Chain A
C-alpha cells in the first residue's frame, strides 16, 4: 500500500538577502543586535492538509512561486517541516531537477550506474537494465564521453531515461513532459504513460493543464503556499483557469 499524508504541514524558508552569514556578521549581531543582512521569511507552504491514497493520480497546479515544486520536494523527504508532519508509505522515486545530479568527469554509462545506485539499484540489478536505459537515451557513442561534454538536452535525456527505468511505488513528477526534442518528447510521453499505469501513486506538477487533465483524477490548486482548492481535476482546473482569466482581464 502506498500512501502519503501531510498534517497541518508548514514550511518556512529563512532566506538572507545577502545569501550567507559571515563570521563578522555573526559577531556583530551578537553585540549590536541590529543586523545589516535581515532575514526574509518565505512561507513556502502553510498549513497544508493532504492525504493521497493508493491508486490516486494527483495533479498540482498554481502560479509560479506558489509552492508546487517545494511541495514535491517535501513529499520526497528532502525538506523537513517547519511544523506539522509528513507520513509516506512506499518507495519514492522522483523526477525533478532532471539535468542536475551528474558527475561531470564520468561517462554517461557510469552516471547511469551512479544514479541507479542512488535509486536503490545494485550492480547486479543495474546490469540487466543498463542496456535498455542506454537504448532509450539514443545517445549512442556519446555515452562513452564524460557528461561535461553533453548538451543540456542530452543530459535531460539521460536523466529521464535513468529515472524512469525503475518501477516505483510512488512517483513524483515535476514538469518533465517537455524534455528533449520533439521525437524524444513523444517517446517520453509514452514512457510516462507506462509508468503512470504501473506506479501505485503519482503526484505531478505541471503548467500544462491539458496533461494534468489527461493524467490525473484529482487536483490541488496551490496559491502562496496554501491549498486554494482540492477536488476532481475538472473542477479545480476550471476554477484555476477562471481565476487566471479574471486576473488577466482585470489587468487589461
Chain B
C-alpha cells in the first residue's frame, strides 16, 4: 500500500495541475468567482435560521453558525459523491492512454471539493469570531484530525462512487436519493438534541456522518474538543470505509477499464 501511495505521489504534478485547472475552469467565467462556493451555504443558512427562529424560537446567532457549519460539511460530502460518480469518466481519456494509479482520479475530485470546503470553513470560523468572540481558540487544533478524517472519508467515497458508477450507471441517481435521505437523517439543519428529545438518539449515535460533523462543530462553535465517543465513532467509520475503498481498488482497479 505504501508503494501504491508512492506511485500516486510520483504523478502529483499531474493531478495537482488538473485540480488547479478544475478550480479555475469553474470560476473563470463567473463574476464573483470563488464567492459562489460561499453564497450557497450563506443563503441557505439565512433562510433556514429565519424559518427556525420563527417556528421554534431558536437563537439566530447561535443556530445560524450551527447551520452554516453543517451545510458546509454537507456540501463537501455531496460534492465528493457527485464528483466521484463522474471521476473515472472524466479521466477516461488518460486511463485509456497511461497506466497511472486509478486512485488519482477520485483524488482529483476530493481535492477540488476540499478546497471549497476549506474556504467555506475559514469563513465559518471568522464569522464565529465576529459573532461570538475568540473563545474557541484553544480547541481549534482538534480540527486537524477532523479534517484528516474528512479527507480520507471523501477520497474513499469518491473512489467507491466512481467504481460503482462504472459498473452500474444508475449509481448516480441512486446516490442522489440516498444523499437526500441522509441529509434529513443527519443533524444538519436541526439540532441533534431534537432527535434525542424524541428518543431518537440512536439515529445520531450510530450515524457516522453525524459524528464527523460533530467533530467540526464542537471545536468551532463550543470551543470544546469532541468527546471520545464522537471521535471513536468518526475514526472507526472512516477506517471502515477506507478499508472498503482499498479493497475495491485492489480488486478492481486493473479491470475497471473494461467497464469504461
Binding site for B on A (CB under 8 A): 13-14, 20-23, 26, 73, 76-80, 94, 96-97, 100-103, 105-106, 110, 113-114, 117-123
17 A-B pairs within 8 Å (CB atoms) are namely: A21-B167, A21-B168, A76-B98, A77-B99, A78-B97, A80-B254, A80-B255, A96-B97, A97-B93, A97-B96, A101-B93, A105-B28, A113-B17, A114-B17, A117-B11, A117-B13, A118-B100
- Distance in angstroms between the alpha carbons of A21 and B259 in the assembled complex: 10
Interface of A is mostly: loop
- Distance in angstroms between the alpha carbons of A121 and B11 in the assembled complex: 9
Interface of B is mostly: helix
With an 8 A cutoff between CB atoms, is B148 at the interface?
A: no
Q: Which 7 A-B pairs have the closest CB atoms?
A: A77-B99, A117-B13, A117-B14, A105-B25, A80-B254, A101-B93, A100-B93
Q: A120 contacts which chain B residues (CB < 8 A)?
A: 10-11
Chain B residues 91-107 with CB under 8 Å of chain A are 93-100
Q: B21 contacts which chain A residues (CB < 8 A)?
A: 103, 105-106, 110, 114
Q: A118 contacts which chain B residues (CB < 8 A)?
A: 11, 14, 94, 98, 100
- Distance in angstroms between the alpha carbons of A14 and B255 in the assembled complex: 11
Question: How many Å from the CB of A175 to the closest CB on chain B?
Answer: 14
With an 8 A cutoff between CB atoms, is B57 at the interface?
A: no
Interface residues on B, range: 20 to 34
With an 8 A cutoff between CB atoms, is B228 at the interface?
A: no
Question: How many Å from the CB of A84 to the closest CB on chain B?
Answer: 14
Q: Are B13 and A97 in contact (CB under 8 A)?
A: no
With an 8 A cutoff between CB atoms, is B174 at the interface?
A: yes
Q: Are A100 and B169 in contact (CB under 8 A)?
A: no
- Distance in angstroms between the alpha carbons of A20 and B21 in the assembled complex: 31
- Distance in angstroms between the alpha carbons of A58 and B98 in the assembled complex: 21
Q: Are B96 and A78 in contact (CB under 8 A)?
A: yes
With an 8 A cutoff between CB atoms, is B18 at the interface?
A: yes
How many contacts between A and B, using CB within 8 angstroms?
73
Q: Are B97 and A22 in contact (CB under 8 A)?
A: no
With an 8 A cutoff between CB atoms, is B4 at the interface?
A: no
Q: A14 contacts which chain B residues (CB < 8 A)?
A: 258
- Distance in angstroms between the alpha carbons of A94 and B94 in the assembled complex: 12
Q: Are B170 and A22 in contact (CB under 8 A)?
A: yes
- Distance in angstroms between the alpha carbons of A42 and B158 in the assembled complex: 31
| Contact of B169 (CB < 8 Å), options: A20, A103, A117, A119 | A20
Given A21-B168, A22-B170, A26-B168, A114:B99 Cβ within 8 A: no
- Distance in angstroms between the alpha carbons of A102 and B25 in the assembled complex: 14
Q: B18 contacts which chain A residues (CB < 8 A)?
A: 103, 114
- Distance in angstroms between the alpha carbons of A56 and B185 in the assembled complex: 64
Q: A77 contacts which chain B residues (CB < 8 A)?
A: 99
Most buried by A among B28, B94, B257: B94
- Distance in angstroms between the alpha carbons of A79 and B98 in the assembled complex: 10
Q: A20 contacts which chain B residues (CB < 8 A)?
A: 168-169
Chain B residues 139-192 with CB under 8 Å of chain A are 167-170, 174
Q: B257 contacts which chain A residues (CB < 8 A)?
A: 78-79
Q: Are B13 and A123 in contact (CB under 8 A)?
A: yes
Q: Are A101 and B97 in contact (CB under 8 A)?
A: yes
- Distance in angstroms between the alpha carbons of A117 and B96 in the assembled complex: 16
- Distance in angstroms between the alpha carbons of A106 and B25 in the assembled complex: 8
User: Nearest CB to that of B14 among chain A residues?
Assistant: A117
Question: How many Å from the CB of B129 to the closest CB on chain A?
Answer: 37
Q: A121 contacts which chain B residues (CB < 8 A)?
A: 13
User: Nearest CB to that of A13 among chain B residues?
Assistant: B258
- Distance in angstroms between the alpha carbons of A20 and B166 in the assembled complex: 9
Question: How many Å from the CB of A98 to the closest CB on chain B?
Answer: 9
